[in-house]
Amino acid sequence: MPAVGLGCMNLSHAYDVPPTPEAAERLLLTAVEEGVTLFDTAALYGFGANEELLGRVLAGHRDRIVLASKCGMTGIDGRRVIDGRPETIRRTADEALARLRTDVIDIYYLHRLDRAVPVEESVGAMAELVTAGKVRALGLSEVSAATLRRAHAMHPIAALQNEYSLWTRNPEEGTLAATRELGVALVAFSPLARGFLTSAPPDFGALPAGDIRRGMPRFNERHYPANLALRSELEKIADETGLTLPQLALAWVVSRGPHVVAIPGTRSVPHLRESLSVLDLDVSGGALETAGWVLNSATVHGARYNEATLAEIDTECFGRAG
């Protein structure tokens, strides 16, 4: 599998206003044409709309792609709900299969650990889906190395999806090493720092009320100016290396190990191609090391989530929200 796939969340969910169905379809089909094999979605994204989009557009290309989705966190009555109970996982898997227009999901993740349900119970229900032929492989999302090991003892885990980028280094506290040791792929979501390391960083003041970055401390008035200054330093490194900033940022992520796969999201065909170009680049180790020195867990300003969201997440953490 190539080291760069496609995260599909922002085609239906979380960031700004979703693109038109026609624009989203064009992006997905271009990704197939450009050789993308891993497409990542979830029941939560658009409260089912993202799975429906991928099902409608990609059904005719099913034999060419790896289709990944997630359970354990969905939208109910307009609210995000974490629910890892076995009966919920069984039901939402059938709903996902219908929306995705497929008989089997290639990788099925537990989107969040439900702290009221032992991970062994959630993974046990997911393992039943493998036995039933509805799922090929299991994954976990936003969990710690300890939880990964518990789950892996219950049933082999093929992939762990955690946020990983120059400014989010949580995997380096345990899961990067644990996935390497266990033979698990580490799938890095938001490798371009939620748009911060793209060619046009978001303007916090212009973000609509529903954009999830409004609730993220790194984008608020207190921290964002300092982070933009760090971004300027990274742009200098990229320019000196003959790269764009997104290319430098993605190259850094995929250089973290042969088992690391990045899934940047985009709504732009040119940006999609820019991300995929990283697969053909030979970036000097010195440039990557310098980039990692400029922006990292010690230099970034603000936590990646607010206090309420941090409390929901099982990953190793670098500190509290600010």
- How far is residue 311 CA from its own chain's centroid? 19
* DSSP state string for 202-265: --GGG--TT-GGGG-GGGSTTTHHHHHHHHHHHHHHHHHHT--HHHHHHHHHHTT-TTEEEE--
B/e letters for 8-23, b = 16+ CB within 10 Å, e = fewer, are bbbbbbbbeebbeeee
d(CA 157, CA 137): 7
d(CA 37, CA 276): 11
Reference 123, options 145, 101, 100, 153; nearest CA is 153
Reference 314, options 198, 153, 151; nearest CA is 151
Asked about 15 being catalytic, the answer comes back as no
Res 15: pLDDT: 87
For residues 175 and 144, is the Cβ–Cβ distance under 8 A? yes
Determine which one of 15, 45, 109, 224 is catalytic: 45
Q: Would you list the domain boundaries of the chain?
A: 6-312
Query: Hunting for tokens 């354990």 — which residue is that?
Result: 72
Res 279: pLDDT: 95
* DSSP state string for 1-38: --SB-EE-GGGTSSSSSPPPHHHHHHHHHHHHHTT--E
For the chain, give the number of residues.
Answer: 322
Rounded-to-10 torsion of CA 275, 279, 280, 282: 100
Res 319: pLDDT: 47
Q: What is the domain class of 6-312 according to CATH?
A: alpha beta
Strands of 59-198, DSSP E? 66-71, 73-76, 79-82, 105-110, 135-141, 157-163, 185-189
Encode the chain (322 residues) as per-residue pLDDT tens digits: 689 999 999 999 888 788 999 999 999 999 999 999 999 999 999 999 999 999 999 999 999 999 999 999 988 887 899 999 999 999 999 999 999 999 999 999 999 999 999 999 999 999 999 999 999 999 999 999 999 999 999 999 999 999 999 999 999 999 999 999 999 999 999 999 999 999 989 888 888 888 999 999 999 999 999 999 999 999 999 999 999 999 999 999 999 999 999 999 999 999 999 999 999 999 999 999 999 999 999 999 999 999 999 999 999 976 444 4
Res 2: pLDDT: 81
d(CA 313, CA 322): 17
d(CA 85, CA 13): 24
Structural tokens at position 209: 């009320």
CA distances from 139 to 69, 109, 161, 202, 205 (A): 9, 4, 7, 31, 36
Q: Say if pTM beats, i.e. exceeds, 0.85.
A: yes
d(CA 156, CA 138): 7
